[in-house]
Structure 1
């Protein structure tokens, strides 16, 4: 699997699927979650309500339509909220593992990922960067490109440096 990093807006990525760092309720929110719901339009929320009437557990993943976004699907994952004491790293790793498994179920070969739990959920940035790279390095998947989308230049450079260090 080719792991790449770009700086930009995850909702504009031309990939098979984008990963949403969702909350347990699966009804939209702030950060990446809010951006995906705004860009995808009401179809994303309608599909969330139909597929996940009680939401998703932390560390789990599920998919919906991407609505009006260029991607075909949204793979929703619920990361641990470090700021609220959810510090089990295996739950963060599970988000990436489960997202890849869902991508395989869908036949998605190009997937754009945010840094799950790195925003308002407060996961330490160094580990938020290391976690997906760790999962991607050992993943058995049909995904050919895992694209990490960094919203800002500082995060982009941090991910780029981490990727270069693994080469």
Structure 2
């Protein structure tokens, strides 16, 4: 499913984010950048331990990443150049609006890095427990807000694992971008 805003192409697709071709892959991270399970675990398994090692070094240097913030590492063996680790909220414990902040910060970081394409997972919908619909609304709102100001980033992929996630995101994005 494809949309566009401000000259930026936005594509929703079902699949494995570690397999897509994009300059950066966004990781749904925790503040300590420990990548054990979910999207984070899959990225390290596929990209190699260098991603976890660089993440720990980032935390040693800068401290934990705040909710809504981002950190960048290489992408190891992945097709991407970078992994942008975005820390979304734990639903019920932190404001859902921090999800939109994480998406905005990832897009701004991709722009700063001079990237053309970026791929997002459904941030905060796994162990962080955010409902698909609300996560999709936050992501769509953030993309709509930031995309018109992007000069280098031309393609945003939202890569969704599973039929239900994909269906819910399509419903929300159709309303947000129609």
Which TM-score band applies after superposition, normalised by the shorter structure? over 0.9
Q: Is the 8 A contact 1:23 1:29 kept in 2?
A: no
Matched ranges for 1:1-167 at <5 A: 1-53=8-60, 54-83=63-92, 85-86=93-94, 88-139=95-146, 140-141=149-150, 142-165=152-175, 166-167=177-178
Q: Which runs of 5+ in 1 are unaligned?
A: none
More off after superposition, 49-58 vs 16-25: 49-58
Deviations 1:40-96 (Å, cap 9, x if unpaired)?
10110121122221331111001100001111100001111115x22x133111100
Contact 2:136 2:173 in 1 (8 A): no
- Normalising to structure 1: TM-score of the pair? 0.93
Deviation of 1:14 (Å):
0.6
Aligned length: 165
CA contact (8 A) 2:97 2:138 kept: no
Q: CA deviation at 1:160?
A: 2.0
Aligned-residue RMSD, C-alpha:
1.3
Q: What SS does structure 1 have at the residue aligned with 2:99? A: helix
CA deviation profile, 1:78-124 (whole Å, cap 9, x unmatched): 111115x22x1331111001101110111111100011111111112
**CA–CA distance in 1 between the matches of 2:24 and 2:51?**
13
Segments of structure 2 that go 5 or more residues without pairing to the other structure are: 1-7
